[in-house]
Amino acid sequence: MDDKAAVAATLQKRDTQNPDKPQYEKVYLVFTGAANRNKIADGMSQYLRRAENHNPALPSDWRKRTRWFQTSTNVMGKQVPHERWYKNLHPDRSLAVATGKSLFASITKDTKEPSIDILQLAPCRDMDVWDFIDTLPNINVYHLFYGYNSRQGPVYEDMSPADRKALAKRQAQFHATLQPRLKAKHPNARLIFTQNVPTFSDPGAGSQSLGWCRKYFPEVDVKMALSDPFWTSLIEEANPYAAKEDQLKNIPTNEDDFLNLVVTARLENNDFRKRTLAMLESAAKSKAFEKESPRSHYRVANILVKEFDGEPAPTLELGDANHVTAVLEYLDGERKGNAGGNAPKLLPAICDKSGEDPRLPPKVTTGTSPSKDGWVLTGCNVAETRINMERLFQLKQLDV
């Protein structure tokens, strides 16, 4: 859902100085980070067609404004969980492979003097990124919602310590190398990192409420997003760390059955919801969980516990859309001269290269002095971002 919403928001973004024109005349979609990228693209295309018939509707001009590509390889090395949503699709086309050369040819065919922003919403192999940066003309901004999207390969349980360390180093180098690579070819280009904290200072800033999503997205896509394996995988991971008396017993072995059980518990105040909350609260107190899986522990303590606590108020993952919208709105404000006070701001990025656990995204912190590592967007408000998305989704079609 978050990829779909991010694409819709980008298509709907208007030019600051000329609101009768789109911010991006063309949007080049490069599908990456999945085994069957043609199916993922088909799922996106079906969403865009459904969105045309939703109220508020996505304008049909997306058909002539989008170009579709895929990377030559899957950096994740295997099928990723959300591909299960598209297992029954049968795409009738195979996407062209995105290389610097093929993208350059497509872009320069569409416009003679392109101005390019790159918004990375999925893991992408570093060599592909370097090829894009070195070959494409006039890149202004490279936005990376870092974390999962920083991945440079799969992590297997039987990986050797040396292989784990090498992968962690490669992921850290990806962060630290992006801004220098950009600057070498595009002197004025900026790398902008975002993450729920510190961009929004809110661990839950990667989601929006179910009721809000139902207003702006087709029900088919909302139901698909509700069945997100993010929730089941974290519940299964947390369960052994809970006190024995709080552990969930007899978790269904069938993935669909377990997903349905968790979806119902997020929507209804039933017994399984209460038992899941007790387990999550217990697991969140586990020092072993915090030490052995710090990223998952953080998510359980700061996202899952809140989701299952109190009366049902389910949320849907909308991280990519929230972050892309926040970046685009910041750039608008910058062009208008809005700065100071409580306005969002860019702070110098400091990319940490000391990590040795490839399961954890390399840390990016903020500094006070100029940095060669790029910038971190800070000071955003997820409620304001939601209002900005509402405004975008209600815009009518323009002549382009």
Domains of the chain: total: 2
| Whether residues 41 and 117 fall in one domain | yes
Same-domain status, 297 and 356: no
Q: Are residues 335 and 312 in the same domain?
A: no
Q: Is 398 a domain residue?
A: no
- The answer to whether residues 298 and 162 belong to one domain is no
Is 342 within a domain? yes
Read off the tokens for 338.
Answer: 């809005």
Is the same domain home to 128 and 103? Answer: yes
Residue 385 domain flag: yes
Q: What is the mean pLDDT of the chain?
A: 95
Average pLDDT over residues 367-372: 94
Residue 340 has pLDDT above 80, yes or no: no
Are 330 and 306 within one domain? Answer: no
Residue 189, domain CATH: 3.90.245
Q: Which of 259, 327, 322, 234 is nearest to 1 (CA)?
A: 322
Q: pLDDT > 70: what percent of the chain? A: 98
User: Does residue 112 fall inside a structural domain?
Assistant: yes
Cα separation of 115 and 124, whole Å?
22
Q: List, for residues 26-63, the tens digit of each pLDDT value.
A: 999 999 999 999 999 999 999 999 999 999 999 999 99
- Residue 376 inside a domain? The answer is yes
Token pair for 219 = 């029900």
Residues 217 and 227 grouped into a single domain: yes
Give residue 233's domain range: 210-317
pLDDT of residue 40: 97
What is the per-residue pLDDT for 400? 47
Q: Are 252 and 300 contained in the same domain? A: yes
Question: In the prediction, which pLDDT does 37 show?
Answer: 98
Q: Give bridge partners of residue 123 from the DSSP assignment.
A: none
pLDDT tens by residue, 226-244: 999 999 999 999 999 999 9
pLDDT one-digit tens code per residue, 97-107:
999 999 999 99
Same domain, 8 and 129: yes
- Domain boundary (293, 317, 341) is at 317
What local confidence, expressed as pLDDT, does residue 203 receive?
A: 84
Domain boundary among 317, 349, 383: 317
Is there a contact between 98 and 30 (Cβ–Cβ < 8 Å)?
yes
Residue type, 10: T
Within this chain, do residues 132 and 143 fall inside the same structural domain, yes or no?
Answer: yes
- Same domain for 307 and 328, yes or no, is no
Does residue 84 lie within any of the structural domains?
A: yes
β-strand partners of 139? 116
Q: Taking 60 as the threshold, does the pLDDT of residue 397 lie above it?
A: no
Say yes or no: 356 and 216 in one domain.
no
Write the pLDDT tens digit of every residue in 290-325.
999 999 999 999 999 999 999 999 999 999 999 999
Q: 400 in a domain, yes or no?
A: no
Alpha-carbon gap, residue 193 to 186, rounded angstroms = 18
The share of the chain scoring above pLDDT 90, in percent, equals 90
Cβ partners under 8 Å of residue 350, min gap 6: 364, 365, 366, 367, 371, 373
Q: What is the pLDDT of residue 1?
A: 84
pLDDT range class, residue 198, cuts 50, 70, 90: very high
What is the reported pLDDT for 398? 52
Domain boundary among 254, 288, 317: 317
Q: What is the pLDDT of residue 342?
A: 81
